[in-house]
Amino acid sequence: MKFFEKITPLTSFVFIAFLTWVFIHLYAFLGFFFFLLFPLFYFLNKGRCLACSLTRKRCLLCRVASINRPWAQGRLYWFSSRAFLIFLLFLFSLFFVWLESLALRDFGYPLAPKSAVFEISPKGEYRLGEVFPLEIKVANINLPINAVQAIISFDPELAEVVDISTEGSFASIFIQKEINNEAGYVKFSGGLPNPGFKGPEGVFGKVLLKGKRPGILTVEFLPSSMVLVNDGRGTNILKESTSANYLILPEPVVEENEALTVLGEESEANLIFYEESPKKVAFSFPDVEKKLSLPEAFLDRLASFDSFVVGFWFSVFSLVKNSAIS
């Protein structure tokens, strides 16, 4: 009893409002099925509604139906009035969920799903001293992207990077190009202004490698690589990255390629590039990918559920409409 004494009217109102909110979301998805199953329920329950069955008393609508009036006589009124209310409640719930999905979309929910994939040139065989390109592509781009950061590691004992080529890249601005042949990694970051890039796949750049010792060279992307979607939040949609193995043959090349001109400073084992564009850009790369807080994760799940419900019934109604027209 003491527990119920502590419940304030405000707490009761919040609890009832929460249950109503949950019911509306569930009914937005299941309400039409209830509408379709209602005739079966009517037949099995011998004309009694659910409220009458639970309370064992006649509800208001059933009492109205029993009044001797031309518009409220018999089972036809009972059946049609409840079927109409069930369908009307379903439409109201679906409309509420649709409005909620629009509001959440304005705040950037649901978050962009991870779908992008880094792809690299397939495996091959190269000779000592031969310079060969590794084409870096971004595939499965379902949403417009405006920034990419590619960080690639390799064995510095077997190969070295001599240049980074951005010719033919979908990115128009590159804010960083860095090659470290001592540690064995290459990092380049860039992007493009609004509205970004969208397509099945796009070339981001090429890394030019030269074999130093014979062996199997493994090239792979580091986890800090990113593909940021143009959603105003900088959401990383990189799902996975591929790796590739290249065979460096012991036979040296007959003619050494001409030295490539690069932008930056060169030392014996380290090559560091300056930034190409000193102007400010509209994207940046976080040092550590931000984890979602509990409220953000809840809003993301809620927005995904709303989008699923609205999309499901929109598809169903469109299918019925097209079938009726046909």
According to the model, what pLDDT value does residue 105 have? 80
Is 297 part of any domain? no
In angstroms, the CA 273 to CA 271 distance is: 7
pLDDT over 50 (residue 263): no
Assess whether 141 and 234 both reside in one domain.
yes
Asked whether residue 159 falls in the same domain as residue 247, the answer is: yes
Q: State whether 122 and 266 are in the same domain.
A: yes
295 is a domain residue: no
Mean predicted confidence (pLDDT) in 21-29: 91
User: CA-to-CA distance for 184 and 154, rounded, in angstroms?
Assistant: 5
Does residue 321 belong to any structural domain of this protein?
no
187 and 123, same structural domain?
yes
Q: Is residue 238 part of a domain?
A: yes
- Residue 59: pLDDT above 90? no
At 29, is the pLDDT very low, low, confident or very high (cuts 50, 70, 90)?
Answer: very high
Nearest alpha carbon to residue 83 among 38, 47, 31, 123: 38
**pLDDT tens digits for 119-147?**
887 778 888 888 989 999 998 888 888 89
What's 192's domain CATH number? 2.60.40.680
Query: Does 137 lie in the same domain as 39?
Result: no
59, 79, 108 - which closes a domain: 108
Cβ density class 168-194: b for 16+ within 10 Å, e for less: ebbbebbbebbbbbeebbbbbbbbbee
3-class secondary structure, 69: coil
Domain count, the chain: 2
| Residues 104 and 132 occupy one common structural domain | no
User: Does residue 81 sit in the same domain as residue 140?
Assistant: no
Asked if the structure places residue 48 within a domain, the reply is: yes
Q: What is the mean pLDDT of residues 262-278?
A: 40
Tell me what pLDDT residue 113 has. 72
Confidence label for 270 from pLDDT (cuts 50, 70 and 90): very low
- Do 245 and 137 belong to one domain? yes
Q: Is residue 223 predicted with pLDDT exceeding 80? A: yes
Q: Report the DSSP pairing between strands 226-229 and 238-241.
A: unpaired
Among 243, 271, 119, 123, which residue's Cα sits nearest to residue 186?
Answer: 271
Query: Does the pLDDT of residue 314 top 50, yes or no?
Result: yes
Q: Report the 10 Å Cβ neighbour count for 140.
A: 16
Determine the average pLDDT of the residues in 175-199: 88
On whether the CB atoms of residues 286 and 234 are closer than 8 A, the answer is: yes
Q: Would you say 233 and 108 are in contact if contact means Cβ atoms under 8 Å apart?
A: yes
Q: Both 185 and 238 in a single domain?
A: yes
Three-state DSSP at 213 gives coil
DSSP letter (8 states) at residue 236: B
Query: What number is the average pLDDT over the span 148-170?
Result: 91
Domain finish residue from 108, 124, 158:
108
- Give 111's pLDDT tier (boundaries 50, 70, 90): confident
My answer on whether 122 and 45 are in the same domain is no
pLDDT at 243: 84
- The answer to the question of residue 181 being in a domain is yes
Residue 242: pLDDT band by 50, 70, 90 thresholds?
A: confident
Q: d(Cα 188, Cα 321) in Å, to the nearest integer?
A: 51
pLDDT at 298: 85
Please report the pLDDT score of residue 52 as a whole number: 66
| Residue 186 is assigned to a structural domain of this protein | yes
Contact 194, 282 (CB under 8 A): yes
174 and 245 part of one domain = yes
Q: Rounded mean pLDDT of 203-225?
A: 90
* pLDDT for the residue numbered 11: 77
pLDDT averaged over every residue in the chain: 77
Domain end (from 84, 108, 132)? 108
Task: Please give the average per-residue pLDDT across 256-262, as a whole number.
Answer: 43
**CB 152: neighbour CB atoms within 10 A?**
23
Please say if the pLDDT value at position 287 is more than 70: no
Band (323; pLDDT cuts 50, 70, 90): confident
Helix residue ranges per DSSP H, the chain:
2-5, 9-44, 50-55, 60-66, 74-106, 294-325
Beta bridge partners of 66: none
182, 161 contact by CB (below 8 A): no
Q: How far apart are CA 28 and CA 210, in angstroms?
A: 61
Domain match, 90 and 31 both: yes
The verdict on residue 104 lying in a domain is yes
Domain holding 228, by residue range, is 116-252+262-273
Residue 251 tokens, joined: 């036979």
